[in-house]
Structure 1
Amino acid sequence: MADGKGLEIKTRMHSIEGTRKITKAMGLVASSKIARAKERVERSRPYFQIMYDTLHAIADSNTDFGSPYVKENTAETVCLIVLGGDRGLAGGYNGNLFKKAEEISAKSDYMVLPIGKKCLDFFERKNAEIISREYAVAADLTVGRCFEISRTLCDLFLRNEFHKIVLVYTNFVSMLEQTPADIQVLPLMANSDVAKKETSHSILYEPSGEAVFDAIVPEYMAGLLYGALCESLAAEQAARHTAMDSASKNAEEMLDTLVLQYNRARQGSITQEITEIIAGSGE
């Protein structure tokens, strides 16, 4: 076309077509990972539930319970464990999580253990005090590494380094819904409705209920962290799948519009050429 408009439209069409192929491929990859991630979530939930029930059963059945894990520390600093993503292109997944973390951190002084590359980058930009950069890649975090984190943070809590430990992650509700959530990991509090009640069905713990409780807490925290990791990974893949699906549909709509513009421009150019030929022959 003489005015170059058709060439410009075609260039844009090729560019958008390339983008559409990328977003479609990323959506398919996320979709393939979701099934595995959901399976991990389902496998991790029973373990956490059993540990949770055991801890509260011990705390609720003891009339004189003095575990340091249920007492509030005098330190003013809050420890945040924030589970983010390693990559972007997942819609509002990381942004919503960081807003949740900022709501908590705005209330007091805090230190943070970031898990996920995007999470580490975010808190480094904020010049936050980072406990460790060793666990920055969420995809590499195994059950064993969760136990390492748990033991480290439990030791720091017992040394009165933190007032409390809060876990911030994204809860996987469904493919279309992922909600940021926070859980106070330590100190643990007994259920007020049934606390300090002795029953005839109480379990006898050796050497004592409190000793078993103190031994279980790091295991509980590791299980909680791993469960939240599974939830977050599933939520990230679901958010990415939704974002890439939306991007692919937008690209297709833009292509349809550009094809229409290209055809109109081409038709106008042909009409102009015919008009010029007719005008020339009449002379």
Structure 2
Amino acid sequence: MSKGELIEIKRRIKSIKNTQKITKAMGLVATARFKRLRGIVEFADEYFNEVSNTFRKLYCDEVYDSKYFSENNENKDLFIIITSNTGLCGSYNSNIINFANEKVAKEDYLILIGDRGYQFFKRREYNVLMNIPIQRFPSFDDAQMIFNLIDDYFTKGKVKNIYIVYTKFINSVRQEVEMLKILPFEKIQEKNKEILLEPNKLQVFDFSAKIYLQSFIYNSLANALASEFAMRMTAMDSATKNSGELLDKLQLKYNRIRQGTITQEVTEIVSGAEALNSN
């Protein structure tokens, strides 16, 4: 074995050690962000559940005249798709993009949250209405901005249905891609006939619908971010572990080659000494 091979292995070992430092650091950052996001998700889930339960109590015959129950004749749908700004988070982005790509038609409208989704769909010339880079933490301002756009498109009859595609956070090791229908609302069998609302039931329902939809979008953003950093944390931990295993293999190979080189050199010295003594 040549000394050149030893130098090459040593260079690879150094490179992997540097990469390992980066993955360790990124793993620590992802862990810190994930811990905070998990707390935000718990709050967002609880808040949305309370809003949802209260909102359903407003359902009665009068509110079915609301614009949010209208069935538009337009053939286009609108999709809100949440991805991340960057990679290095395992299959997070590919899961969402592949899922959404099967559901979305070229004529549909898209609201893309996160640069990865925007790059994919814009490159393929989909009809992108808005691109919002994902924030460090879920933003209610973003939720309100998105609501204002979908409210305008739906109430003016520009789209038939509105869906959101995001990753539901279940726990630190389990996240699932979901597509949920936002609008139009579906009528339900159970209706509250004893409810009294002022100034009238329809106005109260429409106002409450805005709060419900904004909290729906905010909750989806919170779940998506927590899922992203759970998968990023796992990906960085796996990368660090794999680099450690690769280092062990390279170090063993380096030691074997070095030992063989030394043995060969010693053999050559001994042979040379014996040749001199024989003369």
Q: Same fold (TM over 0.5)?
A: yes
Whether 1:46 aligns to 2:46 is yes
Deviation at 1:141, TM superposition (A): 5.7
Tell me the TM-score normalized by structure 1. 0.92
Structure 1 runs of 4+ off > 3 angstroms? 137-141
Show CA shifts across 1:84-137 (max 9, x none).
11110000000001122112214x73110001111211111121111123x233
Deviation at 1:145, TM superposition (A): 2.7
Whether 1:160 aligns to 2:157 is yes
5 Å matches for 1:51-70? Answer: 51-59=51-59, 61-62=60-61, 65-70=64-69
Q: Distance in 2 between matches of 1:258 and 1:148?
A: 53
Match of 1:25 in 2: 25
Assess, with a 3 A threshold, how the Cα gap between structure 1 residues 207 and 217 changes in structure 2: closer, same or farther: same
Match of 2:72 in 1: 73
What SS does the corresponding residue of 1:82 show, helix, strand or coil?
strand
Deviation at 1:197, TM superposition (A): 5.9
Match of 2:94 in 1: 95
Whether 1:267 aligns to 2:259 is yes
Tell me the TM-score normalized by structure 2. 0.93
CA contact (8 A) 2:107 2:127 kept: no
Deviation at 1:66, TM superposition (A): 1.2
What SS does the corresponding residue of 1:246 show, helix, strand or coil?
helix
Q: Distance in 1 between matches of 2:90 and 2:205?
A: 41
Aligned amino acid, residue 221 of structure 1: L
Question: Identical aligned pairs, as a percentage?
Answer: 36
What SS does the corresponding residue of 2:88 show, helix, strand or coil?
coil
Q: Distance in 2 between matches of 1:99 and 1:215?
A: 36
User: What is the root-mean-square deviation in Å for CA atoms of aligned residues?
Assistant: 1.7
Q: Give the total of aligned pairs.
A: 275
Q: Distance in 2 between matches of 1:244 and 1:207?
A: 55
What SS does the corresponding residue of 1:163 show, helix, strand or coil?
coil
What SS does the corresponding residue of 2:58 show, helix, strand or coil?
helix
- 1:214 corresponds, among 206, 209, 212, to 206
Show CA shifts across 1:136-192 (max 9, x none).
334376212311221221121000011111011111111111111111110011334
Q: Which ranges in structure 1 are unaligned for 5 or more consecutive residues?
A: none
5 Å matches for 1:114-193? Answer: 114-133=112-131, 135-139=132-136, 142-192=139-189
Aligned amino acid, residue 260 of structure 1: L
What SS does the corresponding residue of 1:184 show, helix, strand or coil?
strand
Q: Distance in 2 between matches of 1:158 and 1:63?
A: 18
Q: Distance in 2 between matches of 1:277 and 1:173?
A: 67
Deviation at 1:2, TM superposition (A): 4.2
Q: Distance in 2 between matches of 1:171 and 1:140?
A: 16
Match of 2:13 in 1: 13
Deviation at 1:36, TM superposition (A): 0.8
